[in-house]
Amino acid sequence: MMKPANVLIILASLIFSATATAQTCQLTIARLRYGGGGDWYTGPSMLPNMVKEARARTAMPLCDSTAVVEISDQRLFHFPFLFMTGHGQVRFTAQEKLRLRKFLIGGGFLWADDNYGMDRAFRREMAALFPENPLTPIPSSHPIFNSFYKLPGVPKIHEHDGSPAQAFGVFFEGRLIVLYTFSADIGNALEDPHIHRVGPELRELGIRMATNVLSWFFAP
C-alpha cells in the first residue's frame, strides 16, 4: 500500500509518467526481466490486459501502456509496481540482489506469479534477498483479498498437479513488499482468452485478483 515509505519512489513514478503521457496517468506497471534463463517474457498479453481491465473497472490513474525493466536499469525506481512470471530458472546477481532489496525496502512492490516451474528458483532468490524475512503464507483476512472485490483467497486458474493455490509474502516492518502467487496461474486468466481457453468464470476470478492487488497497492 502507498505509505510514507513509498513517497520518493512514487514521486519518481509521477515524474516519469507525466513526461511520457502528458500527465494523463500516474503509474506505469512494469514487467521484470530477470536473468538465469527463465522465460520472463511469457504471456505478453498479461500486463496489457490487467491494466485494461483495472482501468475499466476502477478509478485508478493507471497508464494504459506497460514497460519492461531490469533490476540494473536506471529506470527501475520509476516503476514502483513490478510483475514477474515464468516457468523456469530465476537468478539475481549479487549486485541485483542489493539493488532489488533497496527498491523493495524503499517503497517498491513485486508481484511474482509462478506460471508453473519457477517455484524452487524464486524461493531460493527470495531467501537470499531477505534471509531475515522469509516468505510466509498470506491469510485470507489480508486486505489484498478485499481491497476492491471480496475474495476468499487467491483463486486457482490452472490445475497442473492439483496443488492448492497459495499466496505467500515477504513482509518488511509490517508492510507486504513481495507477493508470490503459487500454483494459481493468475497470469493465464489475464492473457488473451483464446490462448489458454480459460472459462469466463475463472477468467473473471483472475482479473478480480489482479484488480485487488493493484487497488491494494494504490490504497492510501
Q: Evaluate whether 89 touches 56 at the Cβ level (below 8 Å).
A: no
Q: Quick one: which H or E segment has residue 125?
A: helix 119-129
- Can you name the residues that pair with 91 across neighbouring β-strands? 35
Question: Using CA atoms, how far apart are residues 137 and 204, in angstroms rounded to an integer?
Answer: 24
User: Higher pLDDT residue, 169 or 9?
Assistant: 169
C-alpha cell of 80? 514502483
pLDDT of residue 220: 64
Q: Is residue 120 over pLDDT 80?
A: yes
pLDDT of residue 21: 39
Span 79-107, average pLDDT: 97
The mean predicted confidence, pLDDT, of the chain is 89
157 alpha-carbon distance from chain centroid? 16
User: Higher pLDDT residue, 193 or 135?
Assistant: 135
Burial class from Cβ neighbours inside 10 Å (0-12, 13-18, 19+) for residue 74 reads exposed
pLDDT of residue 8: 42
Q: Is residue 138 over pLDDT 70?
A: yes
Q: Is residue 125 over pLDDT 60?
A: yes
Q: Is residue 74 over pLDDT 70?
A: yes
Span 139-160, average pLDDT: 93
C-alpha cell of 206? 483472475
Q: Is residue 1 over pLDDT 60?
A: no
Q: Is residue 17 over pLDDT 70?
A: no
Q: Is residue 152 over pLDDT 70?
A: yes
Question: What are φ and ψ of residue 134, in 5° steps?
Answer: -70, 160
pLDDT of residue 19: 38
Question: Using CA atoms, how far apart are residues 60 and 55, in angstroms rounded to an integer?
Answer: 6
Query: How do beta strands 166-172 and 67-70 pair?
Result: unpaired
User: Higher pLDDT residue, 4 or 97?
Assistant: 97
Question: Using CA atoms, how far apart are residues 114 and 182, in angstroms rounded to an integer?
Answer: 5
Query: How do beta strands 175-182 and 166-172 pair?
Result: antiparallel
Q: Is residue 108 over pLDDT 60?
A: yes
Q: Is residue 193 over pLDDT 50?
A: yes
Domains of the chain and CATH, by start: 4-218 (3.40.50.12140)
Global pTM value: 0.89
Buried b / exposed e along 25-37 (16+ C-beta atoms within 10 A): bbbbbbbbebeee
